């Protein structure tokens, strides 16, 4: 499952970060996930427990910030919210756009102990 590799990637990032410190484990991890990142939050939730087992994230609380998709129309410069990759411009209905937000998947913050 795609979300499992996503979760394991997050674990790797957390382990790298924590290895730079004297901390032993993560208390809180904050993630930013864009609406267009192609990640099902339910699936991520489902695999999370297994992915973090025995890692620095095992007992960490997880906070997820959603980032709405935002595109700029290449035909009329309209800036608009996107919920799916194939959303068209609400102003001129063009499908040509540049996505400027919504594909993020990043670790925003870690609180360690």
| Minimum CB–partner distance for residue 82 and Zn ion (Å) | 12
The single residue among 41, 68, 76, 113 that binds Zn ion, judged by CB under 5 A, is 76
Closer by beta carbon to Zn ion, 27 or else 75: 75
Residue 50 in contact with Zn ion, rule: CB under 5 A: no
Q: Distance between CA 18 and CA 24 in Å, rounded?
A: 7
Q: Return the SS3 of 35.
A: coil
Residue 70 in contact with Zn ion, rule: CB under 5 A: no
| Minimum CB–partner distance for residue 103 and Zn ion (Å) | 20
Of 1, 68, 60, whose CA–CA distance to 32 is shortest? 68
Cβ atoms of 3 and 37 within 8 Å: the answer is no
Residue 92 in contact with Zn ion, rule: CB under 5 A: yes
**HSE on the CB side for 34, CA within 13 Å?**
19
The 8-class DSSP code of residue 111 comes to E
Contact segment (CB under 5 A) with Zn ion among 1-9, 24-32, 61-69, 91-99 equals 91-99
The single residue among 7, 14, 26, 89 that binds Zn ion, judged by CB under 5 A, is 89
Residue 94 in contact with Zn ion, rule: CB under 5 A: yes
Cβ atoms of 14 and 56 within 8 Å: the answer is yes
Residues in touch with Zn ion (CB under 5 A): 73, 75-76, 78, 89, 91-92, 94
């Amino acid at each position: 499952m795609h979300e499992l590799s996503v979760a394991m990637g997050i674990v790797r990032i957390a382990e790298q970060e924590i290895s730079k410190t004297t901390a032993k484990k993560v208390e809180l991890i904050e993630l930013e996930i864009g609406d267009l990142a192609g990640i099902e939050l339910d699936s991520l939730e489902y695999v999370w427990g297994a992915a973090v087992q025995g890692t620095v994230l095992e007992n960490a609380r997880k906070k997820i910030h959603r980032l709405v998709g935002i595109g700029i129309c290449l035909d009329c410069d309209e800036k608009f919210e996107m919920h799916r990759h194939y959303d068209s411009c609400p102003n001129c209905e063009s499908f040509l756009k540049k996505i400027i937000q919504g594909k993020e998947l990043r670790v925003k913050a870690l609180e360690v102990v």
